[in-house]
Amino acid sequence: MTSTEIRGAVELPAERERIELHTADSLTLVGELALPQGRPPVATIVALHPLPTAGGFMDSHIIRKAAARLPALAGIAVLRFNFRGVQSPHGTSQGSFGEGVDEQYDLAAAMALVEGRGLPKPWLLGWSFGSEVALKYGLQYDIEGAILLSPPLHRTTDAEVAAWAGADRRLVALIPELDDYLRPEQARQRFASVPDIDLVAVEGGKHLWVGESQTYRVLSEIVARLNREALPLPRTWDGPLAG
């Protein structure tokens, strides 16, 4: 069998289910749950996508690639969904953009599904705007921790950041060296109230993590926290592809 290079839009096998989330304020959100095939997941990602008003959605590339690769490569379940008012090829979630406030109900609906399905060891994976939602509301839930990709800290107060100190949940922040909003030195200052944060400055990284090398770095950093035994992530796949 010919090996396939894992990059771009390559989608590896998984048990994929289109799901609906139902919020406390009576909205229906669209999403997908991707599970490892033929084995239980070892951990779970709840992915929170970038800013809807800047084109962020559940198919934003890092989140899409996490769902496409990590169930097969690392045994990790990936739950991703469109925040309220967001459209993607998977459909449109009801409602309208909530400025990072009403999205707390979207996260609550996602965590209810995680609990209802008995998905193990949930982690929040928030990218840009999604990192704000994770920081503001994540401590309400029984999670292992949160991984922040390119956190801008535009909507998160100093008190909300400081609440993660000693909170018995791990906080990981991947900070691109060349980020448009928050670079490593600034991030160290803004997160100084959380002395146990795992802050990773990514040399050459940019806010959107464009390119296979940056994608591989981000996914590897995620797996290092959720299932280190799966490292290093393979760069080729010898089995059949999804679909």
Fold exhibited by the domain 4-162+212-237? Rossmann fold (3.40.50)
**Domain extents for the chain?**
4-162+212-237
pLDDT tens for each residue of 133-145? 999 999 999 999 9
CB 29 within 8 A of CB 36: no
23: left (phi over 0), alpha (psi -120 to 50) or beta: beta
| Radius of gyration (C-alpha) of the chain in whole angstroms | 17
pLDDT at 2: 77
| Residue the block writes with tokens 């996508």 | 49
Q: Label residue 92 exposed, middle or buried (CB < 10 Å: 0-12, 13-18, 19+).
A: middle
pLDDT at 242: 94
Share of the chain above pLDDT 70, in %: 100
For the CA atoms of 205, 180, 92, 136, the dihedral, rounded to the nearest 10 degrees, stands at 100
DSSP category for residue 80: E
pLDDT tens for each residue of 9-60? 999 999 999 999 999 999 999 999 999 999 999 999 999 999 999 999 999 9
pLDDT at 147: 99
- Is residue 213 very low, low, confident or very high in pLDDT (cuts 50, 70, 90)? very high
Q: 77 pLDDT exceeds 90? A: yes
Cα 111 to Cα 98: distance, rounded to the nearest angstrom: 18
Give the CA distances from residue 195 to residues 77, 120, 138, 171, 177, in Å, rounded to whole numbers and listed in that order.
29, 27, 18, 10, 20
The three-state secondary structure class of 82 is coil
Query: β-strand 43-48 against 122-127: which pairing, if any?
Result: parallel
pLDDT at 1: 57
Mean pLDDT of the chain: 97
pLDDT at 75: 98
Average pLDDT over residues 101-124: 98
Average pLDDT over residues 194-202: 98
Cα 57 to Cα 68: distance, rounded to the nearest angstrom: 15
